[in-house]
């Protein structure tokens, strides 16, 4: 009888260190560790369009700040505009910023309108260097100068944009063939002077009289800047007088240069200078009369316009400035009837 037996057992395999290692290599699962890619730094854009002073903290690690700064416009009227403030743009570079850096932003206000007798008329705009008030005549008030705008590190300016000058104001009897109070000076490169006030009557002898507008601040935005000169006045023994010179840097509001205040001249007055790194001068004033054909005597009062304040783009220790565009006119000089003649406010935009 044949022996009955089951299948032969599988051949015995020797278990060696090599076989164990080989088996582990095939059986151990692959573990993938996810590693986050470095994130790009967030970008911030901050816009300041309301007049005032603001603290801005540049976060730690950010070293480049792009800027656009506009000064306030000078006050004008429907027929004669105030001067535009300046616009400057470029790049601020901080040499290091391990713990964050605080900058101060100053936004300049537009100058009060150069028409009518409202309480708001002719007021100079606050800012980095305030605009000068317009002369308050008994019949019409001249335009106020616009305030400068700036970015500061501590109390030192990094960049500033000048304010525009206020228009002048005339009051003339009869129907003069020319009656121009002068346009406010526009802040650009260089800062512009205010326009002369002029009146012309068709008399037997020919009659044209003028008085000077205030000077714009002189100098380069990257170099020394001198305040705007006083507008020329009439000669000796003629009613009226010269304007006033603008203020130097560090002597005015927020350590800028204030624009000079205009003066009243009977029924009219002269325009205020714009504020900025250095302030613009105010216009001169003059009164007089002409004997017209037919023996009619007519009287006039004149006020020249204010000059513009200057801009600054040279940076300071701890904050250099490069890739600058401007200063150019910001197109915000006041132009309109009544309160609509108020100069436009300045602004500051920072991107980092």
Higher-pLDDT residue of 8 and 326 is 326
pLDDT band for position 30 (cuts 50, 70, 90): very low
- Who's near 168: CB < 8 A, 6+ residues apart? 80, 114, 142, 143, 181, 182, 194, 195, 197, 213, 262, 268, 269, 270, 271, 283, 302, 303, 304, 305, 306
CB 309 within 8 A of CB 148: yes
Domain residue spans of the chain:
45-352
Q: Is the peptide bond before 271 cis (omega within 30 degrees of 0)?
A: no
Residue 300 has pLDDT above 50, yes or no: yes
**What's the pLDDT band for 205 if we cut at 50, 70, 90?**
low
DSSP 9-29: PPPP----HHHHHHHHHHHSP
Sign of CA dihedral 193, 200, 179, 232: positive
pLDDT band at 58 (very low <50, low <70, confident <90, very high): very high
Identify which has the larger pLDDT, 27 or 149: 149
Check pLDDT > 90 for residue 340.
yes
For the chain, the average pLDDT equals: 88
Q: Among 332, 16, 326, which Cα is nearest to 165's?
A: 332
The answer to whether residues 48 and 351 touch, using CB atoms and an 8 Å cutoff, is no
| DSSP string over 245-300 | PPPPTTSSGGGSBPPPPP-EETTEEPPPPPPBSSPPPPPPEEEEEEE-TTS-EEEE
Assessment of whether the complete model's pTM goes beyond 0.85 = yes
What pLDDT score does 38 carry?
A: 35
Token pair belonging to 280: 């613009």
Task: Report residue 133 as tokens.
Answer: 């008030």
Residue for token digits 């395999």?
13
Report the C-alpha gap between 197 and 107 in whole angstroms. Answer: 30
How far is CA 11 from its chain centroid?
95
The answer, yes or no, to whether residue 27 has pLDDT greater than 90, is no
Q: What is the mean pLDDT of residues 49-55?
A: 98
- Residue 42: pLDDT above 90? no
């Amino acid at each position: 009888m044949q022996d009955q037996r089951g299948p032969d057992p599988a051949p015995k395999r020797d278990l060696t260190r090599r076989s164990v290692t080989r088996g582990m290599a095939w059986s151990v699962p692959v573990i993938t560790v996810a590693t986050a890619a470095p994130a790009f730094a967030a970008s911030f854009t901050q816009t300041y369009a309301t007049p005032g002073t603001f603290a801005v903290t540049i976060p730690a690690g950010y070293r480049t700040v792009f800027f656009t700064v506009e000064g306030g416009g000078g006050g004008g009227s429907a027929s004669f505009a105030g001067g535009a403030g300046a616009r400057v743009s470029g790049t601020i570079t901080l040499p290091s910023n391990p713990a964050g850096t605080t900058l101060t932003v100053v936004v300049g206000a537009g100058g009060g309108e150069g028409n009518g007798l409202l309480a708001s008329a002719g007021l100079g705009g606050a800012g980095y260097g305030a605009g000068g008030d317009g002369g308050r005549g008994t019949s019409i008030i001249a335009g106020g100068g616009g305030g400068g705008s700036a970015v500061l590190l501590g109390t030192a300016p990094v960049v500033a944009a000048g304010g525009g000058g206020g228009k002048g104001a005339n009051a003339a009897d009869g129907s003069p063939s020319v009656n121009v109070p002068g346009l406010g000076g526009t802040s650009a490169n260089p800062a512009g002077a205010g326009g002369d006030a002029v009146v012309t009557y068709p008399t037997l002898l020919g009659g044209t009289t003028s008085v000077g507008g205030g000077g714009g601040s002189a100098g380069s935005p990257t170099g020394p800047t001198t305040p705007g000169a006083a507008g020329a006045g009439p000669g000796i023994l003629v009613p009226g007088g010269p304007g006033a010179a603008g203020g130097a840097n560090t002597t005015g509001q927020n350590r800028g240069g204030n624009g000079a205040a205009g003066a009243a001249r009977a029924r009219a007055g002269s325009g205020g200078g714009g504020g900025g790194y250095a302030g613009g001068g105010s216009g001169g004033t003059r009164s007089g009369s002409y004997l017209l054909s037919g023996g009619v005597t007519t009287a006039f009062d004149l006020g020249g316009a204010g000059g513009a304040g200057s801009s600054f783009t040279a940076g300071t220790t701890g904050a250099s400035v490069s890739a600058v565009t401007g200063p150019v006119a910001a197109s915000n000089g006041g132009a309109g009837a009544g309160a609509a003649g108020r100069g436009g406010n300045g602004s500051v935009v920072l991107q980092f």
